[in-house]
């Protein structure tokens, strides 16, 4: 019956005025609500009653969009219809909203659910409405998570999922509004995704559904990031930091390798987005300063070999802390592996310029030397790698500082280094002195 009447209404849609179009939606909502109330009194139809009640609740937020979008209030009849509809929808939302246990207090989430219905009437400033809804939900979720009187997770999950659904209707209308560009809604999607992830982690009583909502929230974060990364990198940076914060929370709970690897990757990504967020004049000034040090002929792309070197240093420091203080050797190995991969990528860029290469190798030597000293006992392969990198750093620094050395001078220098290294290797160390 519902399907056939929907097809009939669709064929005659253009012949119906705005009030008639809205009354069609209102009639369906009323039928679902009344059907649910009637089925609730039948012992054998409890599942049907719950289903109809949920469908009626899911239709409530759409009414705000329909009432404002169709401009139902134009004309006396439309005003009457709108007032009656809003009163009835508010009453239906209050009566059908999940209550949970007796001690549950759904007032905040219920107020948000109803408030998001009325928020559509402020669509004269659509972007402000969208972000106002995001801020209101974020504050309410944060307050409810800290409130000791909050309902049990099983009670709160259904209540807040309805709020997130209503917020999703606001976001969907935002994407369908010509005055709002898609990239302007990137942070809204990011914050919405972060709220969904945090709420699912703390409230969902069923792990299988918890993971579903978590991945949905992460998907919203990713979509928001994709919408902003090209045009508004500063907003993409905010979304990255949101995702990083959520992953850090996961790491502190379970110490999973996937979460930790994601944290490291998002940290490197944050450095890249920070650079892209700088104004063009500041980028140019920093680039000119670097070229004054390395020389005007330095390819700008080669500077990446040094610019991201602090990321390698941070990774090595984290690996040391994971190994020595937090007793997480597997995560330490993962961190060191990612540091090696990043170092090799940076080396590819640094090879384009001798000055940048020498600076890169000096930094690598210092990092390797610190790691070698802090390892007890130091692995022999690590000692050899540190020695060779230090040797290369010395040679490239000499070649960069004195590019016009004659073959005779180069021979003397090479012989001196060979004698120096032979002498250093001949010095007895530790227990060898007594033999």
CA 266, CA 254: separation in Å to the nearest integer? 19
CA 185, CA 131: separation in Å to the nearest integer? 9
Q: Whole-number mean pLDDT of the chain? A: 84
Tokens of 82: 């709108």
Mean pLDDT (whole number) for 412-430? 60
Residue 81, pLDDT above cutoff 80: yes
pLDDT of residue 95: 85
Tell me the pLDDT tens digit for each residue of 365-408: 999 988 888 877 778 888 888 888 888 888 888 888 777 666 66
CA 65, CA 131: separation in Å to the nearest integer? 16
Burial of 391 per CB tally in 10 Å (0-12, 13-18, 19+): middle
With bands split at pLDDT 50, 70 and 90, how would you rate the model's confidence at 421? low
**Distance between terminal CA atoms of the chain?**
100
Residue 246 CB neighbour total at 10 angstroms: 23
Question: Between 109 and 116, where is the model more confident?
Answer: 116
CA 129, CA 190: separation in Å to the nearest integer? 16
Residue 205, pLDDT above cutoff 50: no
Residue carrying structure tokens 């790691």: 371
CA 115, CA 112: separation in Å to the nearest integer? 5
Query: Which H or E run includes 239?
Result: helix 233-254
Tell me which range, 192-196, 254-258, 273-277, is most confidently predicted by mean pLDDT. 273-277
Mean pLDDT (whole number) for 283-307? 90
Residue 275, pLDDT above cutoff 80: yes
The contacts of residue 154 (CB under 8 Å, 6+ apart) are 100, 205
Query: Which H or E run includes 315?
Result: helix 309-324
Mean pLDDT (whole number) for 120-133? 92
Residue 153: phi, psi to the nearest 5? -55, -40
Residue 276, pLDDT above cutoff 90: yes
pLDDT of residue 46: 82
With bands split at pLDDT 50, 70 and 90, how would you rate the model's confidence at 435? very low
Residue 7, pLDDT above cutoff 60: no
CB 395 within 8 A of CB 402: no
pTM of the predicted structure, to 2 decimals: 0.80
pLDDT of residue 316: 94
What percentage of the chain reaches a pLDDT higher than 90?
Answer: 46
């Amino acid at each position: 019956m519902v399907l056939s009447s929907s097809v009939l209404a669709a064929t005659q849609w253009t012949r119906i005025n705005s009030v008639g179009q809205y009354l069609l939606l209102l009639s369906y909502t009323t039928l679902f609500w009344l059907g649910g109330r009637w089925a609730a009194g039948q012992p054998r139809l409890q599942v049907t009653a719950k289903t109809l009640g949920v469908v009626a609740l899911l239709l409530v937020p759409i009414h705000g969009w329909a009432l404002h979008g169709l401009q139902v209030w134009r004309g006396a009849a439309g005003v009457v219809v709108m007032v009656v509809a809003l009163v009835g929808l508010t009453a239906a939302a209050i009566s059908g909203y999940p209550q949970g246990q007796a001690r549950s207090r759904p007032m905040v989430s219920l107020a948000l659910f109803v408030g998001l219905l009325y928020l559509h009437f402020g669509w004269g400033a659509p972007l402000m409405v969208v972000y106002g809804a995001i801020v209101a939900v974020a504050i309410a979720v944060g307050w409810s998570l800290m409130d000791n009187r909050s309902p049990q997770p099983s009670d709160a999950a259904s209540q807040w999922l309805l709020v997130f659904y209503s917020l999703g209707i606001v976001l969907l209308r935002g994407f369908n509004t010509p005055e709002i560009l898609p990239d302007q809604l990137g942070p809204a999607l990011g914050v919405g995704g972060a709220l969904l992830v945090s709420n699912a982690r703390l409230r969902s009583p069923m792990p299988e559904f918890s993971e579903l909502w978590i991945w949905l929230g992460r998907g919203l974060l990713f979509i928001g990031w994709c919408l902003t990364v090209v045009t508004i990198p500063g907003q993409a940076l905010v979304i990255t930091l949101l995702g990083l914060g959520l992953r850090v929370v996961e790491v502190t709970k379970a110490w999973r390798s996937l979460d930790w690897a994601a944290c490291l990757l998002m940290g490197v990504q944050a450095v890249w987005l920070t650079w892209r967020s700088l104004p063009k004049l500041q980028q140019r000034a920093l680039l000119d300063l670097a070229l004054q040090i390395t020389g005007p002929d330095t390819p700008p792309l080669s500077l990446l070999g040094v610019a991201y070197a602090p990321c390698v240093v941070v990774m090595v420091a984290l690996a040391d802390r994971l190994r020595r203080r937090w007793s997480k050797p597997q995560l330490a190995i993962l961190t060191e592996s990612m540091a090696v991969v990043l170092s090799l990528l940076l080396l590819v860029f640094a090879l384009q310029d001798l000055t940048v290469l020498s600076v890169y190798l000096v930094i690598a030597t210092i990092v390797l030397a610190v790691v070698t000293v802090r390892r007890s006992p130091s692995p022999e392969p690590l000692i050899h790698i540190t020695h060779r990198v230090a040797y290369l750093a010395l040679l490239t620094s000499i070649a960069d500082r004195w590019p016009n050395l004659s073959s005779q001078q180069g021979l003397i220098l090479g012989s001196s280094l060979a004698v120096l290294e032979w002498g250093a290797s001949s010095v007895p160390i530790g227990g060898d002195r007594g033999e």
